[in-house]
Amino acid sequence: MNNPESNKPFVPKQALAPTPQLYHQLVADGMENLAKVTVAELASERPIVGASHLLDLGCGTGAGTSAFVGAVSKEVASDIGIKGVDINQAALDIYKKTTSEQGWPAEAILGDANKMDMFTDDTFTHSLATAMVFVLPDNADPAIKEMYRTLKPGSAAALNSWAYVPNMHPLRVASRATRPAGFPEIRGAMDQWEDGSFLQARIEEAGFKTHRVVQREVFAHTTTDIYHQANMLWSFIGGTTASGWIESDEERWDEAIEIIVAELRKTDGYQKLEGDKLRLKFVAHVAVAIK
């Protein structure tokens, strides 16, 4: 989820714990909406029919699986099989509970996207990696190669990355203003993914010969006011660099939050809704590739 690069033990007293529940509140409906547009592109290339075998890689708490099930009729949904794979047990516990309550035809599997030994070659008819590749090591090359390996010939995979994220710039402004010169940039490795050609290159490197990349707008509607949103953002992502949290982060916490709030209000697509809730615009690269 928050993928910290540091093992340093210090955490500011104001920081909220990066749990799956906090992640749900932070992203609101943004991850579900991203998964929906990505699965729609996948299904337009290779329709999901009865007896399909689907992989939800980096399934988290279930946004991709929800999109799979929502994209088909009840009759088709009863005749497909979904494997949800994630390395985070806490997220998988929620995934299991949700799939059980919803009656989704899905199995939760604890595993590493970079090495899916539990699956043989040519297993799946559809493969999905949503909101995942841009946070993986090695430019996600091992994971995308595993998607290719486990996909049946002629079948399709769908992946996405962010072209525009409204909350990243506010976090970086706060970090630069409240931390020493030379402090690592927050999520610096994400910048390369803003160019769709980078995602395209990763797909080609994995072995896919036929593919297309499109841009889609994705909106997130928060369930909290802007100050709580800023607190969640700073708590969840502020300490994820190789330098982790530093002691002065605790002393300057309120200053950082005020900066994030001010910068969020300036972002493209920002809209304040009734009840002090927010609507934030994201832009995603969505790729569909055929094996």
Domains, the chain: 20-290 (3.40.50.150)
Average pLDDT of the residues of the chain: 95
Work out the pLDDT band at 200, boundaries 50, 70, 90. Answer: very high
> Tens of pLDDT along 110-135?
999 999 999 999 999 999 999 999 98
Is the pLDDT at 1 greater than 80, yes or no?
A: no
What's the full length of the chain, in residues?
291
- Residue 237, classed as helix, strand or coil, is helix
Is the pLDDT at 5 greater than 90, yes or no?
A: no
Q: Which residues does residue 129 pair with via DSSP β-bridges, in sequence order?
A: 57, 159
- Residue 276: count of CB within 10 angstroms of its CB: 13
Residue 283 to residues 30, 112, 136, Cα–Cα distance (Å):
11, 27, 20
Residue 42 to residues 61, 125, 191, 213, Cα–Cα distance (Å):
20, 11, 25, 11
> Tens of pLDDT along 248-274?
999 999 999 999 999 999 999 999 999
Is the pLDDT at 235 greater than 80, yes or no?
A: yes
Is the pLDDT at 100 greater than 90, yes or no?
A: yes
Work out the pLDDT band at 20, boundaries 50, 70, 90. Answer: confident
| pLDDT at res. 6 | 83
| pLDDT at res. 264 | 96
Mean pLDDT over residues 282-286, rounded? 98
| pLDDT at res. 189 | 85
The span from the CA of 171 to the CA of 166, in Å, is 10
pTM assigned to the model:
0.92
Half-sphere exposure of 167 (CA within 13 A, CB side): 22
Mean pLDDT over residues 184-192, rounded? 91
The span from the CA of 204 to the CA of 118, in Å, is 24
